[in-house]
Structures are given as structure tokens and as C-alpha cells.
Amino acid sequence: MHLILASREDEASMSMASRLLETFDFREFEGQDGVRSHGDYLFSYIGVKHLYLENFGQLYAGIRDRVKDIIFLSRHSSKADIKSLTVHPTGNFNGALLGGREKKLSMSDPGKMTSTLRAMNQIYGGSLFSVTFEATHHGPLLNIPNFFIEIGTTEAQWKDPDALDCVIHAIMKPETVGYPAFVGAGGGHYMPKVTRYALENQIDIGHMISKHALEDITESMIIQSIEKTPSCKGFVIDRKGVKSQAKQLISGISDQLGLEMVMV
């Protein structure tokens, strides 16, 4: 089952949760206090910021063996005030300033995350928000596949009815058959070329390494991004957004493991 989590410490998360529960008939779920269900979906509030949910197994002992993946409803912040609807995996390629652990990646969720991105792109017909991936960043660190879905960047956007409807309907759309999964590499934080390629082609994206993270990437972190992208087939690489040294490193690992390299 898919578990949707909303943080009481996050105003946007609470707005998204309210719209979800108003729109879909979630009912009490036996086996775990504070959990509601609707079809293949479970929902619950948490009392901490999502970034720091490190004790999931203890908090949700009654359902943890039934959870296929976790979807975090969250605010998105941007210094550039970029108004966006985003999805991204969790983990840290370097330090752990916002939850998780240093140089540790969670299990990503290529099929559900990418299908949710496609659904948002199909549903949202306005011009205020961009619909996009974000590169892998921040906690929590979890072995269960998970991703964040976010509305940015201010209170006005967090309560925007079109954005709220887009996000909750994208999450609740029937899950499609998973396409081949790839790690995205290169480009800025919003991975524009990787986003566009995923929207236009029958592939799914798991972990994403921005050009900033690639500046001092190690072989072990690239291999970890592969291992934490279930059934990974290779890399989708922003041709101009990866320096030659990182490109050579990825190419060498791909050759060793028999993975594809798709240049965009």
C-alpha cells in the first residue's frame, strides 16, 4: 500500500492533507492508530518535520510490513521564489544539514514518483507553477521507497486551490506499469533536461545527481545511487550539465556494470 504522510509542522503539508481528506473518502484503518485508508492508499499525520522522520519502523509497527512506498506532502522553499510543483527522492550526496545521514541515500521510488510527475504535468493547466523534478536532497533516510511532493514557495502558493487539487489527484491516480528506471545526472537543482526527457519518453527516474553534487562525487556514491534506484538500467545525463571528469567516472561505472547512458 502507498502511505501518504503529512507533517503538522508544515503549513503546506497541512493544506495538502486537508484537501486530500476533503476530496477522497479516507476511513479508519484497523491495525494502526491514527491511520486512515482509501483503496490502496493509507494516510497519517506525523508530529515532526518529514526531514527528521528517522524512526518510521517504530512509529508505524502495525503497518510497516504492508507499506510499499511513502509519499511525503511538503512545502517547497526557494530563494529565487520559483513557483513550482515538484517531486524528488531523499538522501544526501554530501553533508546532512537537513536530516538523513552524510553520504547516505534512501531507497528511491522511480515508478510512482515519475508517474506522479507525469500526472501533475497532465492535470495542471495554469501558468503560475512549473512542474518539475528536483535533485536528490535532504532526509529522512529510509529503506522503504519514498519521495517528496511539494508546492512552492510561499503561503499564497501553499493554499492555491489549483495547486492543491493538482497534487492530490496526481498522487491518487491509478499507478501505471513501471517503465525502465534510470539515475538522472547533471544540470541544475531542478534537473530541467532530465525532467523534460522523462515527461516525453517511457522511462522512470530514481535518484538524481545535480551538477553541484557531481563536482566532488565519488565512485561509491554513484554506485549507491544505482543500488538505491530499484531495477536501474542506467543513466540519463544532461550532456552540457556534467563536467568531463564526472562523465568519465559515470561512463566507467556504466561499462563495468553493463548499464546504459542516455545523453540529452
Q: What is the CA radius of gyration of the chain?
A: 18
Provide the domain limits for residue 232. 2-263
Report the CATH number at residue 7.
Answer: 3.40.630.50
pTM, two decimal places: 0.96
Q: Return the C-alpha cell found at 120.
A: 501533475
Note down pLDDT in tens along the chain; length 264 residues.
Answer: 999 999 999 999 999 999 999 999 999 998 899 999 999 999 999 999 999 998 999 999 999 999 999 999 999 877 667 789 999 999 999 999 999 999 999 999 999 999 999 999 999 978 889 999 999 999 999 999 999 999 988 888 989 999 999 999 999 987 766 899 999 999 999 999 999 999 999 999 999 999 999 999 999 999 999 999 999 999 999 999 999 999 999 999 999 999 999 999
Number of domains the chain is built from: 1
